[in-house]
Every structure is written in structure tokens, then in C-alpha cells.
Chain A
Amino acid sequence: MLFIAFLLCIWEISVRLAEIPHWLLPAPSRIFKEATQSYDTFFPHVMATIQLALLGLTIGVLCGLSVAILLHRFVFIRELLYPILIMSQNIPVLVLAPLLIIWFGFGLLPKLIIICLVCFFPIVIATMDGFRQTPAELKHYFQMIGASKSQLFWKLEWPYAYPAIFSGVKIAATYSVMGAVIAEWLGAKKGIGVYMTLSQSSFRTDRVFVAIFAIILLSLLLFYLIRLLEQLFVKGRGADVTYSKH
């Protein structure tokens, strides 16, 4: 925190000393002033982005978890889909965006698909890793006490993967805000992304910065929200600690 304050100070001082024009790089004080002044017009945009990001994240997490479970539990599905999944990870989502708009128009659906796609991979990969990390001795123990395959999964591998799942969701949460903003660039009525494009075309660099800071804050907020959920769900160890192997 202190370091961030320090950086802001340097920024402020160098902008003033070098007399950089404010449409090129506004000083933090100017950005802050703009933020408070245009709060009323800006706030609805922020709310729109939050809604979009949360909805997309939720759907992305649910899809990611379902796919991870399917891939983990059914070997033939895994052999079929996993290579495709890894390959498709290399396609930047941005490239797909124009296509999605051609196919689905400017409504909510293509935007949700973009966010979903962005959130999907970190969840699938982290979840599958979590399943695979279940110690062999625990799996052996479950077999010895006569657990069925589905009991082995739901009572052992699934809860064992919680910490891994949550680290995936944390990454996905930050991505979801970015995904939402990108989706809004491509066409929307409201949202931080829209606000950014408008400000940019009228050279209101201060407003662009307001939007950037809003995005950073939102990402952080979502991150801590997920951390909170993690602390509620992951029992027996502090958050951020994977279960130790004996």
C-alpha cells in the first residue's frame, strides 16, 4: 500500500515538473477529481460491468467445474477432449469476439460467451490438477474400506480439490472483469468498456484513467470476495494452504 502511494507521488510530481499536457498523461490528483465529479454518470457503467462479470464468472465456473469432473471421471472423454482443450487454449479470445458478434449479435449472449471462455481454462486446469493431487495412500485407504467409485470421488477427490479449485476461481475472477470490459468494447450500451471508448474518442484521458482504476479495483474486490468464500468452504487448514501430504 505504502509503495503504491509512493508511486502515485512520483507520478504526480513528475507530471507537474515536466509539464506534461493533461490529455497525454493526467496527474493522479486530476484523475481523482474527475472520478469524484463524474461519479453519478460513471457509477451505472460500473454496475453494468459488475453484473456482466459476475454473471459470466458464475457461468464460466459452473461450466469449468462440470467439464473438469467429466474429464476426470470418464477416461474416454478425457482422451478425446483434453488435447483439443489444450490446443484451443492457444487461441486468443479476442480473435473470436468479432465472430461471436456476427453469430449472436450485440446482445448479452456473445458477451457472456467471451467471459465464459476467458474464465473456463484456469478453472478446468486447476480443478483437474486438484483431483490428480489426491494422495495415493488416501485413495488406497478408500478402496480398502470399500468405497464405491462415486464415493471415492465425492467424499475424497472432490473435497480434496477445493483449495486448487479456489485458486483457479481467483484467477478466473480477475480475468472475468477483463473479459467483461473487452466484451463491452465490442458493442454495448453501458459498462466500463463503453465509458472507456467514449472517453478515448473525446480525448478525455483522465476519464480513461478513471476507468482503468475502476477495473483494477473491481478485480481486487472480486479476488477478495473469492478469498472470503474460500475461507468459508475450505476447512481444516487456513486458506491458501493446500493439504499437506503426510
Chain B
Amino acid sequence: MLHIQNIDKSFDSLQVIQGLSFEVQDGEFVAIIGPSGSGKSTLFQLIGGVTSLDEGAILLDGEAIQQQRGVIGYMPQQPCLLPWRTILDNVILVEELRHKPNMELAKEWLDKVGLSAFQQAYPHELSGGMQQRVSFIRAIVSNKPILCLDEPFSALDEFTRLEMQAWLVSTWETYRKSVLFVTHSIEEALFLADRVIVLTKRPATVKAEIEVPFARPRTEDIRHSATFTALKQQLFTYLKEEAYAD
């Protein structure tokens, strides 16, 4: 379980995060939405130990992990594949930093997502969507207790994006590890997550939290349900309040 406890962070005089607290249960998919520049990527840098906290604590299974790198799995907005490595060698990159990588597991996952034919291909031979799948597999294979995904689909075109959302839902439903997912898209958050956390504008803190009631496995149908529309409306209102607040 990931526990964010009352954290503060500022860059020089700019307060980015203030008194932010929430948690992610084991096997839970939590989405975070918030205005642009509200400090979501900063939050991930804090969890990843890349920048230091001013106040508060970040606990993973009861253990403080601030300042500790390489504890969480991470997937950024850009695929960040190394162009000189084959797909397979890219997938094992994170493991390779720590110990001898598990090639079989990597191949197994590539197989599961239909990319086994591309094991020996280089990233530039793959489409944007395929590259993001590889990036996700790389995060899974790194075998960390929680995955942090920072707007992983926002650089893709609309159609690929919908495709990737459906793909992620079904892949995650067989995998079921804790996920913290940052997005700008209300629909994406509702379609994927068990719970959506809305952040205020800078300095970020939790504005609201909603449970997403849809059962799993989820299908495209839920996008057209009345509940979906109602929740969407509610989240939209929250974000609008933040955008015009002052």
C-alpha cells in the first residue's frame, strides 16, 4: 500500500504541493486528474525519490521511500525507449540496473500483448501505440509493488488512445497490481480507475475523491451508461471550479 502523508513541496518561492494526502491500496487502480501545472509530475518525482520532500512522508508498505530511487515502476508520457536497443533489450532495461534480467518473463509479456514478433526489432520500426505498450511492459517486468503512469497516452492520437485504454484495462485486469495513473482526460480516468482523485490547482491538494462503481472486467459499454455521464459531469464541474477559482 502506498501512503502519501501530508506532503509539502516548493521550488524556491513557488509552492507546488501543500498538505497532500491520499493512499493507494494493494491491487487498486487510482487515477489523478488536476489542472495543468498543478504538480502531478512533481508528485511522481517525489514518489520516485528524484526530488526531495519539504514536509510529510511517503510510505510504501509502511516503509518511508522518499529519497529512495528505483522502488516504484514508472511509465512516462513519452515511450522513452532506447533507439539502439532491440525491443526485448528495452523491456529488461530496468531489471538490468539491479540484477540479471529475467528474459523469459519479458518474452512472456511481449507474447501476451501480441508483440513477440517484434522482440528483435528496434523501436523506430514500431508505431507510437506499440511503443507505449512496450513501455508499459517494461514497467510491469521491472516487478515493483506499484506502477506510476504519468499521462502515458496523451501524446497519442485520439483513435490510438481509445484503443490503448481498452488494451490497458484488459491487461491490467489480468495483472492487478497497484497503479497510480495521472491523466488530463476525465473519460480516461473513469474508464480505467477504481477511484479518481481530483487535485486543486497549484499548490496541489486533494479537492475531491470519487469511487468508480463499474464492475470488472470492463467493456466499452460503460462509456454510454448514465452513471458514466453523471460522474463525468461531476468531475467536469470540479475541474471547472478549479480553473476559474481565485
Q: Give residues in A with beta carbon < 8 Å to B.
A: 137-138, 140-141, 143-148, 151, 155-156, 159, 162, 234-237, 243-244, 246
Stretch at the interface among B74-82, B102-110, B193-201: B74-82
Q: What B residues does A237 contact at CB under 8 A?
A: 83-84, 122, 124
> Which of the residues B74, B80, B94, B123 comes within 8 Å of A138, measured between beta carbons?
B80
Q: Does B44 contact A (CB under 8 A)?
A: yes
- Contact (A246, B45) CB under 8 Å given A144-B50, A144-B69, A145-B142: no
Is B76 a contact of A140 with CB atoms below 8 Å?
A: yes
Is A144 a contact of B74 with CB atoms below 8 Å?
A: yes
In Å, the complex CA distance between A145 and B78 comes to: 14
Q: Give residues in B with beta carbon < 8 Å to A.
A: 44-45, 48-50, 69-71, 74, 76, 78-80, 82-85, 93-94, 96-98, 122-124, 142, 155
Q: List, sorted by A's number, 6 A–B pairs whose CB atoms are closer than 8 Å.
A: A137-B78, A137-B80, A144-B76, A155-B96, A235-B84, A237-B84
CB distance from B93 to the nearest CB of A (A): 8
> Which of the residues A143, A148, A155, A236 comes within 8 Å of B83, measured between beta carbons?
A236
Name B's interface SS: loop
In Å, the complex CA distance between A146 and B143 comes to: 13
Is A236 a contact of B44 with CB atoms below 8 Å?
A: no
Which residue on A lies nearest to B73, using beta carbons? A145
Is A236 a contact of B122 with CB atoms below 8 Å?
A: yes
Is B85 a contact of A146 with CB atoms below 8 Å?
A: no
Q: What B residues does A162 contact at CB under 8 A?
A: 84
Q: What B residues does A145 contact at CB under 8 A?
A: 69-70, 74, 93-94, 97, 142
CB distance from A195 to the nearest CB of B (A): 43
Q: What A residues does B70 contact at CB under 8 A?
A: 145-147
